Structures are given as C-alpha cells and as structure tokens.
C-alpha cells in the first residue's frame, strides 16, 4: 500500500496544461470570470496549488456538544435538560435574559450541578454570573459570558464614565478567577458583527479588538499578562459557508497568537473557541433546510478547531423548538463526531492549498482592520465614532443586494420555494419578568478587585431575585451616536415577508395572488423557462396560472387570459419564439393585463414587434432585482391590503377579489 497511487495510470499534467483547457472552454472570456469575489474584499480562484506539508494550526480533537437550557417553564427546562444530558449533550448554554423565567439562584441548582460545562450567553452581566455561581462550587466549568463592548454595540448605550466602562466586568472577572478557576470570565463574541451583516474579516478583526481591550483592562487591574489572556475565550459564528468557516476558526488562532507575539509572551494554544450557528442564516420557510445549514456549520467549525459547538433547532426561526428539532440539533454534532470521526485528526485541513491560502488572507485582512481600529483608540472609540457601524453597513448592503438579485441564493425561500408548504409563524413564548427597576434594599461597593462581585454573589446566595441584582448593579449610560446596530434581521426575511403576506391573503380569501403564464409555442420552447418563472414568482408567494398548452395565436392567448383570474401576465418561451409570435404582449394589454412581464434578457427587446416593446412593463431574468420585482408585483395585486382584510371572503371561486384589483 505504501506504493499505491490513484493517479499512476494517468499521464502527468501541469498547471499550464490545465490553463490551456480552461482558456479553450472560456472562448475568449477573461480568466477572472472563474474567480469568486467575497465580501471579505478578495476573490477566490478556481485552482490552488501548493505543498501539502503545512503544519497544523491547532491540535484540537473533538468538541463539546452544547445544548441550550430552554423551556416554557422551569420544570420544562429541567425536563429537557435531563433528556439532553442523558442523550449526548456534553455542555449547556444559558441565556438568563432569553430563556425560562429563572429568578433566583436556587432555581439554577440543576444547571450548576449538572456536572458539565455551563456557558453563559455572550453579553451576560455580572448579575447573571452571580446568580449562576452563587450555589456552585469551585469545580464548575464554563464561562461567565462577559462581552460588554458587544453589548454596547447592540444596545447603542455606553457607560457615561468611559474610563470605567469595563470596571464592573473586570471586578467580576478578578473574583471569578480567584473563586472559580475553571470559569473563563470574558467571551469575546462575533454575534453583533455577524448579525449586522459583517464579513468574516469584520467578525475576526472586531472580535479580536474586543478581546485585546479586555486583556488590557485585566492587566491594568493587576493580573499578569499571561493570566489576563487566559481569562478570555472566543465565540465565533459558524456559517453554512463550509470553507470560510474552517478558515475563520483557524485564522482566529493565528490572530490571537500574533497578539501574544506583539505583547511579548508565548501564545496560549488551549483557548476556549466556542462555535454557534448564527441566527442570520436561518429560514422560517422550508425550515428543514436549516438542518443542512447546521450540518455545514458544525462540520466547518469542527475542522477549524472549535472546542465547543452549538446549533439551532431547525424550526427555531418559525416557532418554539420541538423535542424532535432539539434532538436533531444535538445529534448533528454527535453523528459528525462519533460516526463521521471528524475528531480523529487534529487540523485535517492543514496542507490544503485553498484552505491555507484562505486562512492566511483572512488573518492578514483582519489584522489590518484590527490595527485600524486600534489606531482610532480601540473598539469603544471606534464604536462611538461610527466607524464600526459604517464598516458593517457597507458589507451588509453588498450582501442585501446579492440576496435581492438572488446571486446569494436561499434554498426554499428565494429559490426552489414550496408554495404548498404550510407553516405557522409564531411569536416566541413571552417571558414574564419582574418590574424593570424593582426596589433594592442593598447597595454594592464600587468596582475594585472583586469586592463588587463578591457582594453580588452574597446577595444571590441569600435569594435576592435576578431583577434586583440587575437593578443594584446598573450604571448610568450615554447613547452612542447612530444608536444600536441592527442585528435582528435574518437574510431570508425580505422574501419571507412577501411569502407571509401571500399566506395571509390565502387564509383570508382562499386563493393565492396569481400571475398568468403566457406560454408561447411548443413545450420544447417554453418548458424550461416556465419552470424557472413559476419558481421566481413563488418566491414572492405568487402562484402561476398555467394554460393547458402553449399558444401560437394571439387572439386565443388574449381569450385565455380574460378567462383566467390573474390581472397580470408573464410571457414565457424560448428567445427565438418571442419574435415569431408578434403582438403577444400587446394582445395581453388589450385583454386587460395591468402588468406584462417578459422572461428573458434585455437583448430580446430588439427582436420584438414595436407594439410589443411598448406593451412589456418589466423583464425578469436570472440576476435581476427579484426582491424589488416581487414587491412591485404584490403592490399591483394589492396583496398587503388583502392580507390585512381578515375575514374577507372571495366573491366567487375565480379569484374575484383579484379581478377587482
């Protein structure tokens, strides 16, 4: 086997040989058409070459399977917790502000005593950490989730005393390091930068900037440089872009090592590198596709060297997760780790020319942006100046354009939608919280070397509710210029809003908004394009009305349109057939079509009859602004009005309400 070679029977081929074949296939087109421009500011090539002897970037083998503590009630949460732990979960995540209504430390006994690591959500406050740790012993493992700079970005508020902006979390971190040595106080997270639409470079650079700010603050408070760096972990978003996720997780290790080199100390290879699927990539419609996104997310994070991985249940964006969806989320990591054996090799991507190049480009670009942030005085000042928001806005707008034009496709939503899908979008269960600022009968000392957190721990241990702990530890804040980052929008949402309006209209009048497909010629002329057109309009919840056969006579076309329930029509055929049947668009307009679409590129217009050219209102083609076209179509069809008219009955079985439109 040591002499076995799969390619030994094939003649040797050089890159020049490959390039010659590619140039022939391109037929004069430039080679750059094969490159893929990334939001990160550089392009990927169709072929990479290089030695397969690059050293491993990490020695990580295996990862923690993280499940969130969730449930409509505390009893429900404890039941799900027991099920998760009995069936493979090896760590827990806890968000005290968006989970079961937990008020007192005693209610966290099952979580703190579960015997597995507990990760408080990034952005958790010292009060949250005090509630978790009040009844725990020093053997508890996990993170306190302190990430105040990200909180400032997401809330749009910053402490009025800028010099003490990190004082309370640093105070808590010092106490935690002394009393709970296995808990990592700070968790620098990319969630805000990802949620605001940033690129992988933005996420890496800004997360590193936050970590360095925490590092400096801890060292200034008295920790050694080495101990301060060990008090910080990272939480990165693991997207469905497999190779970009692999490279991002490898790159953060390079960046953290370079920061240590700049600080003059040896790098700590055993860092907490927590991965979570970002909510931005979830879809509410066709939610089963989220299982594929989750698989790619876990795969990429695992190969990239994550130490803990959490994925969302596939129905998270639409409704409250079910036991089945939670089980599938948990099993995604279990199967990839225990059956696919992704944990068998440390850094299996090492030596891949593409992954190595992508890793190095990400790290170099992120380091350059990090230095730019540092030159502005650090992340806090970069946030207040508007630099961060503007940087993220530019990338987000590029992404939004790509989604609107379907260059970035969302399966089940913007492409391949299923109009027959029945989905009930629900609001998450409301969490009943105590009054916003309850009366507090105790005062906390000023932040120092752990005294303030020790007082919080003591109060939590006495049974003081979480709401009072929050109130007692409040600080006066200013509003950041420009306000909070918009991190709540999912990529699929613009198209899903259209689908939801159409679904409401269906529920209201019993029919979907229709478009008449004017099929021209024979099936061989229109079949392929008609399938594309049906999918195009279905992405906006609009249903195609299909005639039994194609038309070769404009009068018959006009008569069929008049008998249909649709007020709009789309010409659909091959490029050559459009010119052969003159007057088709004009006939549809005379028959009462309020809007006539033509499926095809602008070059087709020259082949149309002049009357048809003036009758066509809009072209649709791959790469057009599909979102804008569908929004316009819904306005013409009065879908939003019909959706709001709850209880409106159709005047007849022939889409009477749409006839009126």
Query: pLDDT for 604-626, tens place per residue?
Result: 998 898 999 999 999 999 999 99
Of the chain, the percentage scoring pLDDT greater than 90 comes to 76
Q: Which residues contact 17 (CB under 8 A, 6 or more apart)?
A: none
Cβ neighbour number for residue 9 with a 10 Å cutoff: 6
pLDDT of residue 433 exceeding 70, the answer is no
Cβ neighbour number for residue 129 with a 10 Å cutoff: 30
Q: Collapsing DSSP states into helix, strand and coil, what is residue 505?
A: helix
Integer Cα distance of 383 and 189 in angstroms: 15
Q: Collapsing DSSP states into helix, strand and coil, what is residue 173?
A: helix
In terms of Cα–Cα distance, which of 564, 519, 536 is closest to 627? 536
Is the alpha carbon torsion for 360, 366, 367, 368 positive or negative?
Answer: positive
Exposed/middle/buried for residue 32 (C-beta within 10 Å: 0-12, 13-18, 19+): exposed
Integer Cα distance of 143 and 587 in angstroms: 69
Integer Cα distance of 54 and 72 in angstroms: 49
Compute the C-alpha angle 35/39/43, nearest 5°: 25
CATH ID of 493-660, from 3.90.180.10, 3.30.365.10, 3.30.499.10, 3.40.50.280? 3.40.50.280
Global confidence as pTM: 0.91
Look up tokens 């929008």; give the residue: 489
Q: Are 539 and 283 in contact (CB under 8 A)?
A: no
Helix-then-strand count for the chain, H and E: 26, 17
Look up tokens 């101990």; give the residue: 227
Angle between helices 200-220 and 353-375 (to 10 degrees): 50
For the segment 258-310, what is each residue's pLDDT rounded down to a tens digit? 999 999 999 887 899 999 999 999 999 999 999 999 999 999 999 999 999 99
Exposed/middle/buried for residue 301 (C-beta within 10 Å: 0-12, 13-18, 19+): buried
Please provide the average confidence, as pLDDT, over all residues in the chain: 90
Which secondary structure element, helix H or strand E, spans residue 278, and what is its range? none
SS (H, E, C) 323-340: HHHHHHHHHHHHHHHHCC
How confident is residue 431, by pLDDT bands cut at 50, 70 and 90? very low
Cα 531 versus chain centre, distance: 29
Look up tokens 């006009």; give the residue: 558
At residue 216, the pLDDT reads 97
Q: Quick one: DSSP state of residue 549? A: S
pLDDT of residue 405 exceeding 70, the answer is yes
At residue 652, the pLDDT reads 41
For the segment 158-195, what is each residue's pLDDT rounded down to a tens digit? 999 999 999 999 999 999 999 999 999 999 999 999 99
Q: Are 592 and 562 in contact (CB under 8 A)?
A: yes
Q: What share of the chain is helix, strand, coil (3-state, %, to 5)?
A: 50, 10, 40
In terms of Cα–Cα distance, which of 271, 101, 98, 263 is closest to 188? 271
Q: Are 311 and 254 in contact (CB under 8 A)?
A: no
Q: Are 460 and 102 in contact (CB under 8 A)?
A: no
Residues of the chain with CATH 3.20.20.240: 64-406
Rg (CA), the chain: 29
How confident is residue 644, by pLDDT bands cut at 50, 70 and 90? low
In terms of Cα–Cα distance, which of 617, 640, 641, 638 is closest to 629? 617
How confident is residue 51, by pLDDT bands cut at 50, 70 and 90? low
Integer Cα distance of 629 and 539 in angstroms: 11
Q: Are 206 and 197 in contact (CB under 8 A)?
A: no
Angle between helices 387-404 and 200-220 (to 10 degrees): 160
Integer Cα distance of 416 and 410 in angstroms: 9
Alpha helices, H only, 376-420: 379-384, 387-404
Q: Which fold has domain 64-406?
A: TIM Barrel (3.20.20)
Q: Which residues contact 47 (CB under 8 A, 6 or more apart)?
A: 15, 18
Please, what's the b/e burial string for 70-87 (b: 16 or more CB within 10 A of its CB; e: otherwise)?
A: bbeebeebbebbeebbee
Is the alpha carbon torsion for 162, 163, 167, 169 positive or negative?
Answer: positive
Q: Quick one: DSSP state of residue 458? A: H
How large is the greatest C-alpha to C-alpha distance in the chain, in angstroms? 87
For the segment 419-429, what is each residue's pLDDT rounded down to a tens digit? 988 776 554 44
pLDDT of residue 91 exceeding 80, the answer is yes
Residues of the chain with CATH 3.40.50.280: 493-660
pLDDT of residue 218 exceeding 90, the answer is yes
Q: What is the DSSP string of 81-109?
A: HHHHHHTT--EEEE-TTSSS---SGGGGH
Look up tokens 């120092």; give the residue: 448
Compute the C-alpha angle 92/96/98, nearest 5°: 100
pLDDT of residue 53 exceeding 80, the answer is no
């Amino acid at each position: 086997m040591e002499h076995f070679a799969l390619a030994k029977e094939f003649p040797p081929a050089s890159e020049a040989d490959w390039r010659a074949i590619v140039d022939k296939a391109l037929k004069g087109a430039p080679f750059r058409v094969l490159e893929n421009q990334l939001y990160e500011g550089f392009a990927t090539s169709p072929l990479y070459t290089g030695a397969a002897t690059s050293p491993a970037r990490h020695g990580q083998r295996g990862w923690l399977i993280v499940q969130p503590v969730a449930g409509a009630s505390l009893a429900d949460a404890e039941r799900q917790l027991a099920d998760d732990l009995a069936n493979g979960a090896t760590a827990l995540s806890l968000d005290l502000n968006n989970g079961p209504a937990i008020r007192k430390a005693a209610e966290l006994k099952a979580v703190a005593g579960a015997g597995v690591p507990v990760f408080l959500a990034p952005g958790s406050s010292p009060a949250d950490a005090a509630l978790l740790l009040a009844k725990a012993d020093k053997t508890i493992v996990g993170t306190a989730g302190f990430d105040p700079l990200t909180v400032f970005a997401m809330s749009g508020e910053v402490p009025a005393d800028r010099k003490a902006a990190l004082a309370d979390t640093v105070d808590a971190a010092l106490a935690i390091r002394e009393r709970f040595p296995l808990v990592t106080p700070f968790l620098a997270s990319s969630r805000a930068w990802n949620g605001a639409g940033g690129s992988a470079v933005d996420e890496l650079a800004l997360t590193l900037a936050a970590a360095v700010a925490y590092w400096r603050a801890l060292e200034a408070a008295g920790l050694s440089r080495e101990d301060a760096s060990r008090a910080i972990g990272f939480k990165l978003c693991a997207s469905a872009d497999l190779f970009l996720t692999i490279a991002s997780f490898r790159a953060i290790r390079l960046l953290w090592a370079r920061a240590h080199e700049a600080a003059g100390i040896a790098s700590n290879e055993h860092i907490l590198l927590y991965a979570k699927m970002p909510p931005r990539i979830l879809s509410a419609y066709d939610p089963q596709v989220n299982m594929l996104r989750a698989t790619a997310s876990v795969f990429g994070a695992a190969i990239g060297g994550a130490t803990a991985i959490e994925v969302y249940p596939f129905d998270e964006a639409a409704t409250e997760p079910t036991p089945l969806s939670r089980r599938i989320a948990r099993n995604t990591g279990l199967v990839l780790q225990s059956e696919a054996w992704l944990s068998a090799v440390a850094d299996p991507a090492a030596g891949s020319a593409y992954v190595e190049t992508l890793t190095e480009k990400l790290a170099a670009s992120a380091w350059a942006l990090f230095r730019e942030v540092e030159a502005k005085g650090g992340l806090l000042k970069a946030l207040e100046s508007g630099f961060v928001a503007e940087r993220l806005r530019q990338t987000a707008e590029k992404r939004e354009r790509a989604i609107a034009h379907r260059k970035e496709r969302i399966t089940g939503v913007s492409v391949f939608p299923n109009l027959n899908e029945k989905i009930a979008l629900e609001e998450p269960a409301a969490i009943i919280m105590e009054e916003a600022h309850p009366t507090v009968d105790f005062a906390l000392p000023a932040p120092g070397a752990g005294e303030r957190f020790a007082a919080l721990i003591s109060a939590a241990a006495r049974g003081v509710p979480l709401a009072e702990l929050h109130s007692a530890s409040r600080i006066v804040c200013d509003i950041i210029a420009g306000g909070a980052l918009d991190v709540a929008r999912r990529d699929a949402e613009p198209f899903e809003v259209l689908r939801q309006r159409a679904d409401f209209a269906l529920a209201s009048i019993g029919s979907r908004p229709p478009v008449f497909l004017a099929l021209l010629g024979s099936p061989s002329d229109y079949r392929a394009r008609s399938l594309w057109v049906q999918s195009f309009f279905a992405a906006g919840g609009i249903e195609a009305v299909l005639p039994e056969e194609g038309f070769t006579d404009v009068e018959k076309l006009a008569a069929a349109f008049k008998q249909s329930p649709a007020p709009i029509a789309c010409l659909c055929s091959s490029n050559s057939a459009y010119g052969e049947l003159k007057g088709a668009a004009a006939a549809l307009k005379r028959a009462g079509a309020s809007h006539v679409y033509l499926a095809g590129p602008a070059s087709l217009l020259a082949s149309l009859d002049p009357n048809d050219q003036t009758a066509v209102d809009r072209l649709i083609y791959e790469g057009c602004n599909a979102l804008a076209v569908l929004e316009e179509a819904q306005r013409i069809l009065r879908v939003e009005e019909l959706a709001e008219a709850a209880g409106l009955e159709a005047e007849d079985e022939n889409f009477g309400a749409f006839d009126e439109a």
